[in-house]
């Protein structure tokens, strides 16, 4: 069964999917870490691959940029392809001085300035959160390899080039970093009764104005992918 956005047949996508924003990063990760790799999607160049990592089936697929794109692909994965767990492996901008370049932020929850939550018709403001079990496993892996990481709130914004400065306001409420997809993923996971965790490598700082180059950004995410893949193994073993 294909969709307008995904040419995969049911069964071609693993129960656990890693989702970087950039489809080329998905291809690089699949080529680097997976064996017996099969490309299951190239529609709109949103590349998706399935292979095995240490004997465990894993898929890696791009999500595109922003909540609308993430929402389309994650909705289809959860509801049409039987995916149980999505691990977003993206980049983010740090909002605090202790959140430095190359650090990893695990999104315990996600604020947003998007209207995406309104469609659910909640009688108030919903707070999209991650799956706690995935968070515990991810931080445990990060500890074991000595990764520099933080756990806390993200903000998913609809505006990359914003006409107003809102970073200080979010930071004043303890938000660690800004990205563009987490809230949409967490909302879709909640509605589908599935699991999700967002982990982001800090690629720039809104305070210091430091920014990784494109090549540095590409290489900086490898440690995060290794954490995500170990979480995928643990999640697969738990679900067997």
Active site residues: 204
Q: Give the integer Cα–Cα distance in Å for 134 and 126.
A: 21
Note whether 27 and 59 are within 8 A (CB).
no
Contact, 99 vs 217, CB < 8 A? no
For residue 168, CA distances in Å to 130, 172, 205 come to 24, 6, 12
What 3-state class would DSSP assign to 41? strand
Strand partners, 86: 17, 196
Residue 105 CA to residue 41 CA, distance in Å, equals 29
Give the C-alpha separation, 176 to 92, whole Å: 10
Beta carbons within 10 angstroms of residue 98's beta carbon: 8
């Amino acid at each position: 069964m294909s969709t307008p956005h995904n040419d995969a047949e049911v069964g071609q996508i693993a129960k656990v999917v890693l989702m970087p924003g950039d489809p080329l990063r998905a291809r690089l990760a699949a080529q680097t870490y997976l064996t017996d790799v099969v490309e299951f999607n190239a529609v709109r160049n949103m590349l998706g691959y399935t292979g095995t990592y240490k004997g465990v089936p894993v898929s890696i697929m791009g999500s595109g940029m922003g909540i609308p794109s993430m929402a389309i692909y994650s909705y289809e994965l959860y509801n049409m392809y039987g995916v149980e767990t999505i691990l977003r492996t993206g980049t983010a901008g740090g909002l605090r001085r202790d959140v430095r370049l190359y650090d990893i932020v695990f999104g315990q929850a996600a604020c947003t300035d998007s209207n995406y939550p309104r469609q659910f018709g909640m009688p108030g403001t919903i707070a999209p959160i991650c799956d706690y079990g995935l968070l515990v496993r991810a931080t445990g892996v990060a500890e074991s390899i000595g990764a520099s990481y933080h756990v806390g709130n993200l903000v998913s914004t609809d505006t990359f080039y914003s006409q107003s400065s809102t970073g200080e306001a979010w930071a004043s409420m303890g938000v660690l970093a800004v990205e563009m997809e987490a809230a949409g993923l967490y909302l879709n996971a909640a509605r589908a009764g599935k699991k999700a965790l967002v982990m982001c490598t800090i690629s720039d700082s809104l305070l210091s104005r430091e920014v990784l180059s494109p090549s540095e950004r590409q290489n900086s995410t490898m440690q995060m992918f290794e954490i995500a893949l170990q979480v995928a193994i643990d999640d697969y073993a738990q679900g067997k």
